[in-house]
Amino acid sequence: MTTINAPMPSLSHRASRWFSRNLIRIYAALAFIYLFIPVAYTFVFSFNDAGKSNLVWQGFTLENWQNPCGAPQVCEAVVNSLQIGVISTVLATILGTMIAFALGRYKFKGRKSTNLLIFLPMATPEVVLGASLLAMFLNLRVNPGFWTIVISHVMFCISFVVVTVKARIASLDPRLEQAAMDLYANERETFRYVTLPLVMPGIAGAALLAFSLSFDDFIITNFNSGVVSTFPKFVYVSAARGIPAQANVIGSAMFFIALIIVIVGQVVSRKRKKI
């Protein structure tokens, strides 16, 4: 009995099948490469022996990491950004969390209008928001400076905190709080021992988001900073003559710190799910 061997698929057909099976992986790999090329560039040029200008690779050195404050005013700008970021984050997180609970748990007159107003800073272009805030401060005869930056950052960070925390509140199972009250816990105890721990991941995520938005902001800060220098402003001013390698060092360090925080958060979250 003779057997007929099936013809081997052509090379182009096999390549087409492989491409169709791995399309999602290829797309994901290209997306990651596109996203992380600037980060890789920043990290590599943090080791550049470039002096004041960092536009062209001139050799490998560890001096930039050993002396991250070597460039004039870079550490002062970073400290200002950290202080503004921390203060803005604390205020925006506290106020935004209270607003989120009010909007997520209670019905009151003007609730829909308040929801709409919360989204306005997110939808308004930063140029418009920054110019409006500057006009307000000038009309109030308040000189732009450190605290005008804080007020401006709190204003637009609150919206992101409210949206994040409110989404977490909406996902809570009301039966958990009801069970606590059935066990004779009052409202304060239920909130402290049941509701708040359940909402805390959302609050923590909102705080991290608010800090990153505040630390990274340039447009609103540039309008309302006066003579105060922040890290984004320092990078922008330095870009014309070449960003110092120390700025790349600080940017790389911030990226790795954020990466560690994300990894730790994922590990803790997985352990909690297993428990």
Q: Please check whether residue 238 is in contact with residue 229, taking contact to mean a CB–CB distance below 8 angstroms.
A: no
The per-residue pLDDT for 246 is 84
Tens digits of residue pLDDT in 80-112? 999 999 999 999 999 999 999 999 888 888 888
Alpha carbon distances (Å) from 43 to 220, 240, 260, 264: 27, 20, 16, 22
- Considering the domain boundaries, does residue 130 fall inside one? yes
- Considering the domain boundaries, does residue 1 fall inside one? no
154 closest CA partner among 95, 202, 104, 209: 95
Cα separation, 268 vs 275, in Å, equals 11
With a pLDDT cut of 70, the percent of the chain lying above it is 92
Q: Which residues are 48's β-sheet partners? A: 60
Place of tokens 């290209």: 30
- Please provide the size of the chain in residues: 275
- Considering the domain boundaries, does residue 12 fall inside one? no
The pLDDT of residue 13 is above 70 = no
Dump the DSSP string for 126-189.
Answer: HHHHHHHHHHHHHHTT---SHHHHHHHHHHHHHHHHHHHHHHHHHTS-HHHHHHHHHTT--HHH
Q: What is the CATH number of the domain that holds 90?
A: 1.10.3720.10
- Considering the domain boundaries, does residue 48 fall inside one? no
- Considering the domain boundaries, does residue 68 fall inside one? no
The per-residue pLDDT for 266 is 80
Cα separation, 231 vs 218, in Å, equals 9
Among the residue ranges 11-20, 58-67, 118-127, 184-193, the one predicted with the least confidence is: 11-20
The per-residue pLDDT for 89 is 96
- Considering the domain boundaries, does residue 7 fall inside one? no
The pLDDT of residue 212 is above 60 = yes
The structural domain count of the chain equals: 1
- Considering the domain boundaries, does residue 138 fall inside one? yes
The pLDDT of residue 234 is above 80 = yes
Cα separation, 207 vs 192, in Å, equals 19
- Considering the domain boundaries, does residue 39 fall inside one? no
Helix-helix angle 74-105:146-170, to 10 degrees: 40
44 closest CA partner among 249, 243, 234: 249
Among the residue ranges 34-38, 105-109, 204-208, the one predicted with the least confidence is: 105-109
pTM of the model: 0.82
Domain containing residue 203: 73-274
Tens digits of residue pLDDT in 138-191? 999 999 999 999 999 999 999 999 999 999 998 888 888 888 887 878 888 888
Cα separation, 27 vs 13, in Å, equals 20
